[in-house]
């Protein structure tokens, strides 16, 4: 048995070096034992002898990216699993394409869970303000599901570039002094400050964005798993908000969409002011979000409360492109959360497409509308606005690199394909796009809401579900 001793739980370069050496020396997976003991001397005294004449061997970049993520999982099996894949890749270079291989499916599943943990960390870290000898500093205690601190810390550094902060976790602590990110060993929850005024701020904010009409308790716990609740000040509100949800829903249905409250406007203005964006092409989705807030490519920024960038995993296989955020999306800062979003959610569920695995965005990132009394009435963006905003969609496409892009409705079709196309004629076809993705056109969910005749509506909806299934099979 060949024992490999890695320096730490997330020692990717050590794993990579050892795996290469073992593979080159012909050590099969069941003869390798992976351990973490902090020594990092890989094989200790007993280095395996190289196999003479072993062919040089490279692995696809996709595998390295997968391995780099999987290693952050808490599963004890991850090092061995990755080595089994590496072992087979030499003979089977297309192995990762075969989703039915148990090890491939397991590795992809672990990678997905790591990405979800990173996503949750971005959403649920709550800073508390304290003073130290240098002045104000923000400190958070967080318990990530997997070892995602190093992966996620740059997101916080970009987002809070001018704010000194420390994120303390049991695995590792990240510190940002406004210039450089540093890391220290894991901490104890007692090291993080507990109560302060920021908690009230979070509770107020959460109560303001809590949408009773969308209350699905099971879904909510999936999005905000209970394991995170104890560190979230707003979580204390949840039982009460759930209890009040029904009455609030009725009131909301009765109420027409209205202008954003001053609080929402102020929050969006703050986000826009804080968005570090220098005009360069973004390289991450976070930079797209920041850039969209600061965008002045056309005049629509004056219209909406905030820019609404796309949402979903950075490696989604399927991208949906809508037209532009509507009234509720503009307030929430998220795409497809209003009535059209509900139609999309229902149709996706019927088509068996998990929305959380797709990237959902819009051709235009601001809500174009006109005021009628207090109501904000949707206006279709013109070709100039679609063209100005294509910069952002193109950047999202370049970063996510989806295999399939679904254009929802005419504006999205114009933006994705650069021309208008009759949807009834082109639906259910895989159309080649220049960036290697396949394009699919289908109806916009709002159109389905507007079809007046019930029978025609049901028929159009059934076609829409068919189109979503078709797109998913291509992805
Ligand atoms: N309609 C769209 O096209 N996009 C949204 O995000 C919401 C409604």
pLDDT tens sequence across 377-404: 999 999 999 999 999 999 999 999 999 9
Looking at the CA of residue 408, tell me the nearest atom of ligand 1: 3
Superfamily covering domain 300-474: Uracil-DNA glycosylase-like domain (3.40.470.10)
Percent of the chain with pLDDT over 90: 59
What distance in angstroms lies between residue 7's CA and the mean position of ligand 1's atoms?
A: 48
Per-residue confidence (pLDDT) for residue 373, from 0 to 100 = 79
Per-residue confidence (pLDDT) for residue 426, from 0 to 100 = 96
Per-residue confidence (pLDDT) for residue 375, from 0 to 100 = 85
For the ranges 305-319, 368-382, 432-446, the lowest mean pLDDT is seen at 368-382
Rounded distance between C-alpha atoms, residue 144 and residue 142, angstroms: 6
What distance in angstroms lies between residue 365's CA and the mean position of ligand 1's atoms?
A: 10
Closest CA to 395 of 280, 268, 275: 280
The residues, ordered by sequence, that sit 6+ positions from 107 with a Cβ below 8 Å of its Cβ are 66, 67, 70, 81, 82, 85
What distance in angstroms lies between residue 107's CA and the mean position of ligand 1's atoms?
A: 34
Looking at the CA of residue 363, tell me the nearest atom of ligand 1: 3
Looking at the CA of residue 444, tell me the nearest atom of ligand 1: 3
Rounded distance between C-alpha atoms, residue 317 and residue 373, angstroms: 42
Q: How confident is the model at residue 99 (pLDDT cuts 50, 70, 90)?
A: confident
The residues lining ligand 1, judged by C-beta closer than 6 Å to any ligand atom, are 322-326, 329, 335-336, 338, 340-341, 362, 446
Angle, CA 161 vertex, CA 160 and CA 163 arms, to 5°? 65
3: enclosing H helix or E strand: strand 2-6
User: Which sequence spans correspond to the domains of the chain?
Assistant: 2-119, 125-191, 198-254, 300-474
Render pLDDT for 112-128 as a digit per residue (tens, 0 to 9): 999 999 999 998 888 88
Gyration radius from the chain CA atoms:
25
Give alpha helix (H) positions in 125-261: 149-159, 197-209, 217-223, 238-254
What distance in angstroms lies between residue 321's CA and the mean position of ligand 1's atoms?
A: 9
What distance in angstroms lies between residue 283's CA and the mean position of ligand 1's atoms?
A: 24
> For a pocket test of ligand 1, which of 300, 306, 325, 345 has the largest count of ligand atoms closer than 8 A to its C-beta?
325
Per-residue confidence (pLDDT) for residue 133, from 0 to 100 = 75
Rounded distance between C-alpha atoms, residue 19 and residue 82, angstroms: 9
The residues, ordered by sequence, that sit 6+ positions from 441 with a Cβ below 8 Å of its Cβ are 406, 407, 413, 417, 421, 423, 426, 427, 429, 431
Rounded distance between C-alpha atoms, residue 109 and residue 115, angstroms: 10
Per-residue confidence (pLDDT) for residue 78, from 0 to 100 = 97
Mean pLDDT of the chain: 85
**Separation of CA 241 from chain center:** 26
| Residue whose pair of structure tokens reads 């679904």 in the numeric block | 406
What distance in angstroms lies between residue 152's CA and the mean position of ligand 1's atoms?
A: 29
Structure tokens at 475: 């992805």
> For a pocket test of ligand 1, which of 409, 415, 443, 445 has the largest count of ligand atoms closer than 8 A to its C-beta?
445
What distance in angstroms lies between residue 311's CA and the mean position of ligand 1's atoms?
A: 12
Entry pTM: 0.49
Per-residue confidence (pLDDT) for residue 319, from 0 to 100 = 98
Over 60: is that where the pLDDT of 472 sits?
Answer: yes
Per-residue confidence (pLDDT) for residue 126, from 0 to 100 = 83
Closest CA to 317 of 120, 471, 116: 471
Q: Which of 50-54, 129-133, 242-246, 432-436 has the highest mean pLDDT?
A: 432-436
What distance in angstroms lies between residue 361's CA and the mean position of ligand 1's atoms?
A: 8
For the ranges 58-67, 110-119, 174-183, 202-211, the lowest mean pLDDT is seen at 202-211
> For a pocket test of ligand 1, which of 308, 327, 340, 445 has the largest count of ligand atoms closer than 8 A to its C-beta?
340
Closest CA to 300 of 372, 362, 375: 362
Looking at the CA of residue 334, tell me the nearest atom of ligand 1: 6
Over 80: is that where the pLDDT of 294 sits?
Answer: yes
């Amino acid at each position: 048995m060949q024992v490999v001793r890695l320096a730490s739980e997330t020692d990717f370069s050590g794993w990579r070096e050892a795996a290469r050496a073992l593979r080159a020396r012909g050590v099969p997976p069941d003869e390798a034992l992976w351990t973490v003991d902090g020594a990092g001397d890989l094989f200790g005294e007993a280095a395996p002898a190289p196999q003479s004449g072993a062919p040089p061997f490279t692995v696809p970049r996709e595998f390295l990216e997968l391995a780099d993520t999987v290693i952050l999982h808490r599963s004890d099996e991850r090092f061995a699993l990755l080595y089994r894949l590496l072992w087979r890749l030499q003979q089977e270079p297309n192995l990762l394409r075969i989703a039915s291989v148990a090890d491939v499916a397991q590795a992809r599943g672990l990678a997905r869970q790591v990405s979800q943990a990173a996503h949750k960390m971005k959403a649920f870290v709550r800073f508390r303000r304290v003073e130290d000898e240098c002045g104000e500093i923000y400190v958070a205690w967080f318990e990530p599901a997997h070892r995602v601190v190093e992966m996620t810390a740059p997101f916080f550094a970009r987002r809070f570039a001018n704010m000194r902060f420390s994120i303390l976790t049991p695995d590792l602590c990240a510190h940002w002094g406004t210039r450089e990110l540093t890391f220290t060993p894991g901490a104890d929850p007692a090291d993080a400050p507990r109560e302060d005024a920021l908690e009230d701020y979070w509770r107020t904010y959460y109560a303001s964005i809590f949408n009773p009409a969308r209350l699905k308790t099971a879904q909510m716990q999936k999005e905000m798993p209970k394991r995170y609740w104890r560190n979230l000040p707003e979580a204390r509100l949840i039982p009460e908000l759930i209890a009040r949800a029904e009455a609030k829903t009725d009131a909301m249905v009765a109420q027409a969409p209205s202008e954003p409250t001053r609080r929402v406007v102020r929050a969006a203005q703050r986000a826009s002011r804080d968005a570090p964006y220098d005009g360069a092409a973004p390289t991450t989705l976070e930079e797209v979000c920041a850039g969209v807030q600061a965008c002045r490519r056309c005049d629509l920024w004056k219209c909406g409360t905030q820019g609404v960038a796309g949402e979903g995993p950075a490696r989604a296989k399927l991208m949906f492109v809508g037209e532009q955020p509507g009234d509720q999306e503009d307030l929430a800062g998220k795409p497809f959360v209003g009535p059209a979003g509900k139609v999309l959610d229902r149709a996706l569920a019927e088509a068996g497409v998990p929305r959380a695995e797709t990237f959902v965005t819009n051709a235009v990132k601001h809500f174009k509308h006109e005021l009628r009394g207090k109501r904000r009435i949707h206006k279709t963006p013109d070709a100039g606005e679609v063209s100005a905003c294509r910069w952002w969609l193109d950047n999202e496409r370049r970063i996510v690199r989806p295999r399939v892009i679904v254009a929802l409705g005419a504006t999205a079709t114009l933006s994705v394909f650069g021309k208008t196309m009759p949807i009834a004629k082109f639906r259910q076809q895989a159309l080649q796009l220049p960036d290697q993705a396949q394009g699919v056109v289908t109806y916009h969910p709002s159109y389905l809401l507007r079809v007046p005749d019930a029978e025609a509506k049901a028929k159009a909806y059934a076609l829409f579900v068919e189109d979503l299934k078709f797109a998913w099979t291509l992805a």
